[in-house]
Amino acid sequence: MAPSAIPSTVHDGEQDLDLTSSAIDHRLAENAQSNGSANGHGASSNGQGNHVSQPNVRELDATKINYTFTKEPRDVPPPGVHTIDDATVCTDHMITVKWSAKSGWATPELRPYGPLSLMPTASVLHYATECFEGLKAYRGFDGKLRLFRPDCNAKRFLMSSMRISLPSFAPAEVEKLLLALMAVDGPKWLSRERPGSFIYLRPTLIGTQSQLGVQAPSEALLYIIASYMPVMDSPADGLKLHTSPNDMVRAWVGGFGYAKVGANYGPSLLATQEARARGFGQILWLYGKEGYCTEAGASNFFVVWKTKEGKTQLITAPLDDRLILDGVTRRSILQLAREKLSDEVEIVERKYTIQEVMEANSEGRLLESFAAGTAFFITPVSLVHHREQDVQIPMGKTGDGGLYTLKLKGWLRDIMYGNVDHPWGVVVQEEQ
Amino acid sequence: MAPSAIPSTVHDGEQDLDLTSSAIDHRLAENAQSNGSANGHGASSNGQGNHVSQPNVRELDATKINYTFTKEPRDVPPPGVHTIDDATVCTDHMITVKWSAKSGWATPELRPYGPLSLMPTASVLHYATECFEGLKAYRGFDGKLRLFRPDCNAKRFLMSSMRISLPSFAPAEVEKLLLALMAVDGPKWLSRERPGSFIYLRPTLIGTQSQLGVQAPSEALLYIIASYMPVMDSPADGLKLHTSPNDMVRAWVGGFGYAKVGANYGPSLLATQEARARGFGQILWLYGKEGYCTEAGASNFFVVWKTKEGKTQLITAPLDDRLILDGVTRRSILQLAREKLSDEVEIVERKYTIQEVMEANSEGRLLESFAAGTAFFITPVSLVHHREQDVQIPMGKTGDGGLYTLKLKGWLRDIMYGNVDHPWGVVVQEEQ
């Protein structure tokens, strides 16, 4: 525990300022390098961290999955059943891959879904050394099974893992593991008889080292599970948001709001629960004394308004201050809107405040709003409650979302369910 | 998932501002109330949260422990051995208590130390619904076994649990569970033959509900383990600190820096690891553009300096902005210093900046500094590195800490190891 001698070469003012980002860049660069080497034996080490430089430190390799099929296959629950006894219903199998600083990544296992065994001293149970991803597999109307942009989730998974001091890996290997799990469980759990349905995939990475010292874990477990999940994008009367209280800030500049780490979720539950008890669906998280709109619950937040000059704008918070999650749905919406709507709508990523939203409302310029994320897909927002005031937001002619909300939703759904052929929809080669 | 109707009575501007603290106050008040009722059947419910109002929701009750002793007792490792195969060495037993929103607290179990079984969907593995405490049991020079102020840890444990949406309990029950575990494992694992040694106790509370929806868990597990831990308060040449980088802020106003939740630890590992690679022991966490000194690693940070007017001051960061942990060692130091040193030293809790520390150094007014916490006890700080500059701090005549650092350390040690009789030292009634 005693600090070693201070190397004189590192007294560099610039390094003092960006300790974190330089550490991440460092690790990512090493990772990119080792991915160029022969898979399975590239050294992903910087000699400083939990990646010890050893010739036998193995890379994550999805081509070598060990298959152990369940002997107790479970019944698929009826449509609409997502939990049994308050527990999420998962498919028959899961993928697990152990990692240690000493040996690197072990052989991936596809095995029966079941409990994990962790020592009470495991890092994840004390220090929140955990990150995850969420994406869906969609049973297309053409009968094919697709993942939606799994490359984006896999890359963000790596970024989150770096931020929370968990190991690095080649994102493409995680993508292959996702496809492998769906190849096995897809045919039964997302049957061809139920086109237009989806299943939720949850890649997770946790620090398992059973040591209480506060340090980057030298052992970890990556696992992927697939579960049922309710359709959440069409609540009756739309999603109602309560702005965040003064005494709770979700994320902050210099923090980790952009990473999908557990530490962003647990601390927000209290305010969310209180808001739900008051009849709202989610918190609209504001930032700073200016009250910048950042996220809606754990989703990105979009507004469509007319500017004072009369232009129609689709606006959402920017990524550059790293407060918000770089959502895959968010990114896809912006890409599609720029491609298909730019003649009629200006697409803007900038900081904007709750006051601007309220002013637009009072001047009749507020057109639409929606929350966007994998879980909520695109969910129209009908109301924002802020400091004793209700901002009612139009829900469109049909009452289930504004014009652009529904257009974007339709375009994305067409890609997800294979109504159009698009590179974002990655087809699973199913076993049966 | 659809929000219910908004009750018109709750449109209260004040409630909008303090959603979080009112939710916590709410829960704590309920807890205090139910503790006044007959133990075992008080309702700890507010009807809104995960405490469902039911007459059969049981309180945590430490008088009803179920004992299952190990059939495979392990050997006590030689002095100085704290880990085996990178895993922390724990004692033969642990305490576990299950909680569910439906039934409340189950009967506490004292049982053989061993792995926990968690579903891959367990809340704690995804959303960091976890909090913990750290305190030590000390084998006194009079042969007695003592806990140091366990009431303080138990109360903070409750506060952390509330902040992270885990269940409430009467802190006194946790204190009793700590004493029960030490009564059984103390005689063997902290032998009377080794006076002046300690063991580390880690009460932990985790959300176990196996549901992926982002929500307050309706099932939880409280457990207490006891482990060996190295002596960390006397590193060769003192503790060397590196100030936090611009791109990493540990805690922020409106956040949860004051709570002992996992979410405060994992995100800080990256900077700590990088600082260690550069030869420093811990990060000195600064806050805001002013650069306020807050914590040293996961410890409180103290400075002794002369003011410009020539007064000797012991200074540490205040609690009122809720950025830092309300450390039990910190609190004890302040109490002892006020009691025993106030004739010669002014005791100050206020915001102070790294610039003030550097100015005191350049003017020869910097006398001592130390980090204080349960793990680090009182560890003298010999150097602070900030933006290319090294601030050397005197380490006293004997080189192992300044005058007041050693005085405070001695007074506390005397209480912990029973050299003086003091109400802070709570004697364990051992089984043998």
The pair phi, psi for residue A9, each rounded to 5°, is -70, -15
- Residue B53 sits at the chain A interface (C-beta within 8 Å): no
Q: Which long-range CB contacts under 8 A does B153-156 form with residues at least 24 apart? A: B153/B203, B153/B328, B154/B178, B154/B203, B156/B260, B156/B326, B156/B328
Across the A:B interface, residue pairs with CB atoms under 8 Å apart total 369
Residues 166-195 of A with CB under 8 A from B: none
pLDDT at B35: 47
- Name chain B contacts of A113, Cβ cutoff 8 Å: 120
Q: Which residues of A touch B269 (CB under 8 A)?
A: 127, 129, 164-165, 214-216
A38 touches B at CB < 8 Å: no
Nearest Cα residue in chain B from A128: B262
Q: Which chain B positions have a beta carbon within 8 Å of A270's beta carbon?
A: 20, 23-24, 162-165, 216
Q: Nearest CA to CA, how far is A343 from chain B (Å)? A: 35
Smallest CA–CA distance, residue B384 to chain A, in Å, is: 12
Q: Is B232 on the interface with A (CB under 8 A)?
A: yes
Alpha-helical segments (H) within B117-266:
123-127, 150-163, 171-189
Query: By the 8 A CB rule, do A379 and A347 touch?
Result: no
**Residue-level pLDDT at A28:** 66
Q: How far is B340 from chain A (nearest CA, A)?
A: 31
What average pLDDT does the segment A11-34 reach?
61
pLDDT given for residue A45 in this prediction: 35
The residue-averaged pLDDT of A188-197 equals: 96
Which among B428, B429, B431 has a CA at the least distance from the CA of B198? B428
With cut-offs at 50, 70 and 90, classify the pLDDT of residue A5.
very low
Put simply, the chain A residues between 286 and 325 with a CB less than 8 A from any chain B CB are 297-298
pLDDT for the residue B17: 64
Local structure of residue B353 (DSSP, 8 states): B
Chain A from 126 to 155: CB within 8 A of any B CB: 126-130, 132
- Measure B239 CA to nearest chain A CA, in Å: 7
Residue B265 in tokens: 């630890």
Does residue A6 surpass a pLDDT of 80? no
B115 and A115: CB-CB below 8 Å?
no
Report the gap between the CA of A26 and the closest CA in chain B (Å): 11
Contact criterion met (CB < 8 Å) for A235 and B3: yes
Residue in B18, B132, B211 nearest the CB of A126: B132
Nearest CA in chain B to A84: B211
> Could you give the CA distance from residue A377 to residue A415 in angstroms, rounded to a whole number?
13
Q: What is the pLDDT of residue A245?
A: 87
Cβ neighbours of A280 in B, within 8 Å: 3, 6
Tell me what pLDDT residue A309 has: 97
Location of structure tokens 């005031």: A389
CA angle B142–B146–B149, rounded 5-degree value: 135
Which residue is closest to B240 within chain A, CA to CA? Answer: A3
Residue A413's alpha-carbon distances to A143, A192, A425, in angstroms, are: 15, 17, 10
A6 contacts: CB under 8 Å, gap ≥ 6: B240, B278, B279, B280, B383, B385
Q: In this model, does residue A264 exceed pLDDT 80?
A: yes
Contacts with B235 from chain A: Cβ below 8 Å: 1-3
> Cβ A211–B88 below 8 Å, yes or no?
yes
Share the mean pLDDT of chain A: 90
**Tens digit of each residue's pLDDT (9 = 90 or more) over B314-353:** 999 999 999 999 999 999 999 999 999 999 999 999 999 9
Alpha helices in B81-215 (DSSP H): 123-127, 150-163, 171-189
**Taking CB atoms and an 8 Å limit, are A252 and B255 in contact across chains?**
yes
- Higher per-residue pLDDT: A200 or A28: A200
Low-confidence ranges of chain B (pLDDT < 50): 1-13, 35-53
Q: What is the SS3 string spanning chain B?
A: CCCCCCCHHHCCHHHHHCHHHHHHHHHHHHHHHHHHCCCCCCCCCCCCCCCCCCCCCECCCHHHCEECCCCCCCCCCCCCCCEECCEECECCEEEEEEEECCCEECCCEEEECCCEEECCCEHHHHHCCEEECCEEEEECCCCCEEEECHHHHHHHHHHHHHHCCCCCCCHHHHHHHHHHHHHHHHHHHCCCCCCCCEEEEEEEEEECCECCCCCCCCEEEEEEEEECCCCCCCCCCCEEEEECCCCCCCCCCCCCCCCCEHHHCHHHHHHHHHHHHCCCCEEEEEECCCCEEEEECCEEEEEEEECCCCCEEEEECCCCCCCCCCCHHHHHHHHHHHHHCCCCCEEEECCCEHHHHHHHHHCCCEEEEEEEECCCEEEEEEEEEECCEEEECCCCCCCCCCHHHHHHHHHHHHHHCCCCCCCCEEECCCCC
Strand runs (DSSP E) across A194-339, as ranges? Answer: 198-207, 219-227, 239-243, 282-287, 292-296, 299-306, 312-316
- Sort out which chain B residues have CB atoms less than 8 A from A10's CB and list them: 278-279
Task: Flag whether residue B5 sits within 8 Å of chain A, measured between CB atoms.
Answer: yes
pLDDT value of residue B108 = 98
Banded pLDDT at A22 (limits 50, 70, 90): low
Chain position carrying tokens 């398992």: A208
Report which DSSP code applies to A122.
B
Verify whether the Cβ–Cβ distance B119 to A116 is below 8 Å: yes
B residues 367-396 closer than 8 Å to A (CB): 375, 383, 385-388, 390
Contact call for A130 and B126, based on CB within 8 A: yes
Is B212 part of the contact surface with chain A (CB cutoff 8 Å)? yes
Q: Residue A16: its pLDDT value, please?
A: 67
Nearest to A240 among B6, B24, B88 (CB): B6
Q: ipTM above 0.95?
A: no
Q: Which of residues 63-122 of B touch A (CB under 8 A)?
A: 83, 86-88, 90, 94, 113, 115-121
Closest Cβ opposite residue B126 in set A132, A230, A253: A132
**Closest Cβ–Cβ partner in A116, A200, A214 for B298:** A214
| Chain B residue numbers touching A125 (CB-CB < 8 A) | 116, 124, 130, 204, 206, 262
Tell me, yes or no, if B352 comes closer than 8 A to chain A by beta carbon.
Answer: no
Q: Yes or no: say if A208 and A122 are a contact pair by the CB < 8 Å rule.
A: yes
pLDDT at residue number B31? 57
Q: What's the pLDDT score for residue A86?
A: 87
Q: pLDDT at position A56, please?
A: 77
Please state, in angstroms and rounded to a whole number, the distance separating the CA atoms of residues B307 and B102.
57
Nearest chain B residue (CA) to A133: B126
pLDDT in tens, A58-103: 999 999 999 999 999 999 999 999 999 889 999 999 999 999 999 9
Residues of B in contact with A18 (CB under 8 A): 245-247
pTM over cut 0.90: yes
Task: With CB atoms and an 8 Å threshold, state whether A1 touches B281.
Answer: yes
Distance from CA of A261 to the nearest CA of B (A): 8
Percent of chain A with pLDDT over 90: 82
A11, A26, A48, A125: best to mutate for the B interface, most B CBs within 10 A: A125
